[in-house]
Amino acid sequence: MYAFEYHRPSSIKEAASLARKLADAKLIAGGQSMVPALKLRLARPTAMIDLNDLPELRGISVVGTNVVIGALTRHAEVAASKDVLMTLPVLAKVAAGIGDHQVRNMGTLGGAIANNDPAADYPAALLGLGATVTTNKRDIPADKFFTGMYETALKPGEIIASVSFPMAKRAAYIKFRNPASRFALVGVFVSETAGNVRVAVTGAAPCVFRVKNMEKALASKFAPEAIARIRVPADNLNSDLHAGAEYRSHLITVLAQRAVEAALSGK
C-alpha cells in the first residue's frame, strides 16, 4: 500500500463534509472494487473515507409495501434476511448470486450501486423494480440514478443512505454469468408490481437499461411467448473478450423469457 489519509467518520454529516472538503477522496464501504483498484495502483486517492462506522446506514426493514435496505448492508445479509425472503424473495436471490463468498460477506448494496459496474447485479434489481435511492440529500428514482458507465446521479459529497424496493406481485432475475468472475455476461430482471411491468438488463451495455417494448408486450400478456420475437439491436451492446454484441443481443431475449417463466412459476 502507498500512503493516503484514512478517515473513519462517525456520522453521515461528518462523512459528507469530509467528502466535500477533500476533493480527491474516495468513499469506501465494502471495498470489493475499491481495494483491488488500490492494490493494483489503478487508483491512488490522497484520502479514503471509510463508512463502516455508520450503523444508521445498516439494516433491513419492511415499511408498508416496501422493503428498505440500508446502504451498508452486506449482500450476504440481504440474501439471508427473513424479511427479504418473506416479502421480496427475488432480491435475496439477486444478492445470493453476486460474486463469491468474500464479495457477499464484505460488499454492500450502496457500494455496488454507487460503483454502477456495467455488469453488476443490483442495478438490474433497482431498475427492474422501480426502486428509490435515498441519499443524505434527496430521493432519486432508479430510472434517474444510473446515468452511464460507472456513472450515477450522485453529486460530490452525496452519500447513499438506503434503497426502498417496492414489493412485486411476481419477479425473477436470471443471469448468464461469467464462470470466473460471476459477473453477468447478461442479466435480465423482470417484475410485475401493481399493474406495472418492468424489464431491466445488466451486463449487455455500458449501463443497465430497460427494454420498453418487452414491458409493453408483457403488460398485455405476461408470458414468455409474448417477447420471444423481441430483440434488442446489437448496435449499442458490449463486445469484449467474453462475448460479442450479437450474442449478448440473443441472450437478452432468451434470458428475458426464462425470467418471465421463473416469475410465473414463483421459483
Partner 1 sequence: MEMSGEQTILRPQAVTWSSITDPRVLKACIPGCESMDKVGDNEYELVMGAKVGPVSAKFKGKITLADVDAPHAYTLIFEGQGGVAGFAKGQANVRLLPDGETTRLQYTAKAMIGGKLAQVGSRLVDGVARKMAESFFSAFNEHVSGVKGEG
Bridge partners of 191, per DSSP, are 171, 198
Could you tell me how many residues make up the chain? 267
Please give the size of the binding site for partner 1, defined by CB under 8 A.
Answer: 24
Q: How far is the CB of 2 from partner 1 (least distance, A)?
A: 10
Q: How far is the CB of 68 from partner 1 (least distance, A)?
A: 26
**Exposed (0-12), middle (13-18) or buried (19+): which is 64, by Cβ within 10 Å?**
exposed
Cell readout for 262 is 421463473
Judged by CB under 8 A, does residue 46 bind partner 1? no
Q: Please, what is the Cα angle at 184 between 155 and 25, to 5 degrees? A: 25
Judged by CB under 8 A, does residue 202 bind partner 1? no
**Exposed (0-12), middle (13-18) or buried (19+): which is 218, by Cβ within 10 Å?**
buried
Judged by CB under 8 A, does residue 182 bind partner 1? no
Cell readout for 7 is 478517515
**Exposed (0-12), middle (13-18) or buried (19+): which is 150, by Cβ within 10 Å?**
middle
Judged by CB under 8 A, does residue 247 bind partner 1? no
Closer CB to partner 1, 44 or 169, in the complex: 44
Of 85-93, 156-164, 213-221, 232-240: span binding partner 1 (CB under 8 A) = 232-240
Q: Which residues contact 176 (CB under 8 A, 6 or more apart)?
A: 184, 185, 186, 187, 203, 251, 255
Distance CA 3, CA 140 (A): 35
Q: Are strands 26-28 and 47-50 parallel, antiparallel or unpaired?
A: parallel
Judged by CB under 8 A, does residue 36 bind partner 1? yes
Q: How far is the CB of 4 from partner 1 (least distance, A)?
A: 13
Judged by CB under 8 A, does residue 82 bind partner 1? no
Q: Indicate which single residue of 118, 123, 157, 187 sits in contact with partner 1 (rule: CB under 8 A).
A: 118
Q: Indicate which single residue of 66, 73, 81, 116 sits in contact with partner 1 (rule: CB under 8 A).
A: 116
Residue with cell 454469468: 177
Of 113-121, 135-143, 189-197, 210-218: span binding partner 1 (CB under 8 A) = 113-121
Q: Indicate which single residue of 3, 41, 63, 101 sits in contact with partner 1 (rule: CB under 8 A).
A: 41
Q: Indicate which single residue of 132, 238, 249, 257 sits in contact with partner 1 (rule: CB under 8 A).
A: 238
Sign of CA dihedral 40, 41, 42, 47: positive
Q: How far is the CB of 144 from partner 1 (least distance, A)?
A: 19
Judged by CB under 8 A, does residue 240 bind partner 1? yes
Judged by CB under 8 A, does residue 242 bind partner 1? yes
Smallest CA-to-CA distance from 198 within 249, 126, 247 is with 126
Judged by CB under 8 A, does residue 26 bind partner 1? yes
Binding site for partner 1 (CB under 8 A): 26, 33-34, 36-37, 40-44, 115-119, 148-150, 206, 238-242
